[in-house]
Structure 1
Amino acid sequence: MNPTHSPSFPRAQQAQIIRSNQRDVFQVSSLREQTENVIRSYLGTRWLTRWEKEVDVLVNLVYYGFTTRIAMQSLGEEYTDIWQHSIHSEKPLSQRHRAALVFLPTLASYIISRCSNAVPQSAKLGSVLRRLPKALELLSEVNLAIFYIRGTYYSLTKRVLGVRYISSTPDNPNARPPSYSLLGVLLAIRLMYRLITFVRTIRASNTSDSGSATVKGKQVADVSEETFIDDRPVSAMLSSVNPEGEPPVPAEEDEYTILDISRIPENVRAGRNCTLCLEERTASCATECGHLFCWNCIVGWGREKAECPLCRQSLDLTRLLPIYNL
């Protein structure tokens, strides 16, 4: 009797891995959109804006928890018929590796973001935490450039854990797989340009710091470029850590309006609702595109997305216009 041998599977091609990732991104985006629609209808847009990051984490954990975590193919992997495989043990992934694939990409960036907001900006740890997401983003781009050139690890997490893809589809010796090396070269050029720009910025800042006037060892602040609204600097108005998390103020107690809210007819007041918090507007302000919101609502939204919630035009928080008579 011939000895039995374990079957050997070829490595997944770049095209299979890319299509799998694209389909997973589409499925996660669709699940997130449906979740946001349900939350928005029951809890309102303001609540969704405040907890948007937590919702994003929950959606990712649910999707990959019910696929990768329990040793099942994701919808993208099933679509391209590929499987995750450990290069260290040459066996299917262990429970520890599957858990790391689910939690590391999702929770790491979220924890870093929350910790950076909790630590004071003056602290060295806070400065490091705020730079860490950009460093991870840069490493991910470097890893992606390497993937397009060599076709090994699509994500940085899989490279660290040593997880590759195998395919159940046999290789066709008569067909040449597509090459994505050009994309890798273009990404490498883009990264080099960013590096050169960063070095020039550091040199320029050092030169300006050395030539600037100082008083008692402290640099003199240049207030000539500060923007003021009613004798209040815009930077101070935007300095609140979590403005959308502050308790709502009744419209009758709004200090930033010249209107006598109590004398406005109810049918007119019904049209003064903010589309973000679904409550009557307080500290009303207008965006450059002409839409009206509560000041705290639009500031909280703009810190997460630099676009108008209604028309999707670009949003600049320093160009919000307070409205006192609407």
Structure 2
Amino acid sequence: MMGSIRLSSFPPAQQAQIIRSNQRDVFQVSSLREQTENVLRSYLGTRWLTRWDKEIDLVVNLVYYGLTVGLATQTLGEEYTDIWPHSAHSDKPPPRQHRAALVFVPTLAPYVLSRSSSALPQSSRLGLILRRLPKVIELASEINLAIFYMRGTYYSLMKRALGIRYISSTPDHQNARPPSYSLLGVLLTVRLLYRLITFVRSMSVANSSHPESVSAKGKRLADISEETFIDDRPVTTMLGPTNPEGEPSVPAEEDEYTILDVSQIPENVRAGRNCTLCLEERTASCATECGHLFCWDCIVGWGREKPECPLCRQSLDLTRLLPVYNL
């Protein structure tokens, strides 16, 4: 079909088409994940969903891109903008191994890195490298995106590595000038330069301090890219284990983060102490900026995926959560 047609007769896809295609795909994947989460939450609970969120994200991406890119068809975004991928080296549709790489590398690689880095000890050298590698990939992707805005080819880093471009079935209009996105590329470059300068300055501050007399502030500056802090305490040291079966990690009567004798509270009052995420009685209660109360583990797990309050949808900042020790 596509292989029997001279692809050179089709004009290259415009930047606007590629950008709209990517935005459409992101929207479709997000919508598919949201619907999947709603179904799983109703049957298995929020805590189970929080525990397996990375696996759910992996499966959703594999299903979407496997049924489109993997089967040599257009994604919904490519179909929406009427563009087709083709190999810049052979002027033919991408071969099977390239399509497999487009499906598995962007989905499996982040998952494997995330799970491997969390399984290794915090102090191990390999664990430190694996935790920093996603940030390196993210930086390379931003550099690639800046180049795309200025040059107009290879929106993703993986497509640049494989030499996969887009052609359009829409003929060019000689009297119409396509929009330019060079300014976005310049702004991204300025942002990258600012991050580079900030990183160099932070390294200079860290190196100017004696290794044996580094203050807590200096430690926080050095580790801020790898850890979230609340009152100079790492969030990971304040999280308890999460039960995948939907039950609270600790019974409310054994909650060490409250001064109340929960067993003496009337049943009708205790019914109002339920967490709206796990639907169980709150333990390690904490308050958001908007004033809603949740279990500490529940709201932190939720906030890492959706930075908004699950009740009122106000913006949620994990560094501004307030632990409440007397409720």
User: What's the TM-score bracket when you normalise by the shorter of the two chains?
Assistant: 0.7 to 0.9
Q: Does 1:315 align with 2:317?
A: yes
Q: Deviations over 1:223-276 (max 9, x none)?
A: 9999xxxxxx97377416763348622223333334343443433322211122
* 1:72 alignment partner AA: T
CA shift in 2, pair 1:82/1:242, >3 Å: farther
User: What is the match of residue 89 of structure 1?
Assistant: 90
* 2:237 alignment partner AA: S
Distance 1:150 1:166 in 2: 15
Q: Does 1:206 align with 2:204?
A: no
Q: Deviations over 1:61-94 (max 9, x none)?
A: 1111111111111111111111110112221112
Q: Does 1:38 align with 2:39?
A: yes
1:239 corresponds to which of 237, 240, 262: 237
User: What is the match of residue 122 of structure 1?
Assistant: 123
Gaps of 5+ in 1: 227-232
* 1:310 alignment partner AA: L
CA shift in 2, pair 1:306/1:251, >3 Å: same
Query: Residue 237 of structure 2 aligns to a residue in which SS?
Result: coil
Superposed counterparts of 1:54-133, under 5 Å: 54-133=55-134
Identity %: 70
Query: Residue 293 of structure 1 aligns to a residue in which SS?
Result: strand
Distance 1:111 1:5 in 2: 39
Deviation at 1:164, TM superposition (A): 0.6
Paired residue total = 309
Distance 2:34 2:301 in 1: 20
* 1:25 alignment partner AA: V
User: What is the match of residue 168 of structure 2?
Assistant: 167
Q: Does 1:17 align with 2:18?
A: yes
User: What is the match of residue 253 of structure 1?
Assistant: 254
* 2:126 alignment partner AA: L
CA shift in 2, pair 1:5/1:241, >3 Å: closer
User: What is the match of residue 294 of structure 1?
Assistant: 295
CA shift in 2, pair 1:257/1:203, >3 Å: closer
Deviation at 1:154, TM superposition (A): 0.3
If you compute each CA radius of gyration, which structure gives the higher value, 1 or 2? 1
User: What is the match of residue 230 of structure 1?
Assistant: none
User: What is the match of residue 229 of structure 1?
Assistant: none
Deviation at 1:58, TM superposition (A): 1.5
Q: Does 1:152 align with 2:153?
A: yes
Distance 2:272 2:81 in 1: 51
CA shift in 2, pair 1:99/1:236, >3 Å: closer
Answer with 152-161 or 55-64: which moved more.
Answer: 55-64
* 1:179 alignment partner AA: S
Distance 1:28 1:123 in 2: 35
Deviation at 1:309, TM superposition (A): 3.4
Answer with 45-54 or 273-282: which moved more.
Answer: 45-54
CA shift in 2, pair 1:302/1:21, >3 Å: closer
CA shift in 2, pair 1:308/1:243, >3 Å: farther
CA shift in 2, pair 1:191/1:273, >3 Å: same
Q: Is the 8 A contact 2:286 2:321 kept in 1?
A: no
User: What is the match of residue 49 of structure 1?
Assistant: 50
Q: Does 1:275 align with 2:276?
A: yes
Q: Is the 8 A contact 2:206 2:218 kept in 1?
A: no
CA shift in 2, pair 1:77/1:264, >3 Å: same
Answer with 48-57 or 244-253: which moved more.
Answer: 244-253
Answer with 91-100 or 167-176: which moved more.
Answer: 167-176
Gaps of 5+ in 2: 221-230
TM-score (norm 2): 0.84
Distance 1:147 1:234 in 2: 40
User: What is the match of residue 227 of structure 2?
Assistant: none
Query: Residue 233 of structure 2 aligns to a residue in which SS?
Result: helix
Deviation at 1:44, TM superposition (A): 1.8
Q: Is the 8 A contact 2:11 2:168 kept in 1?
A: yes
Query: Residue 166 of structure 1 aligns to a residue in which SS?
Result: strand
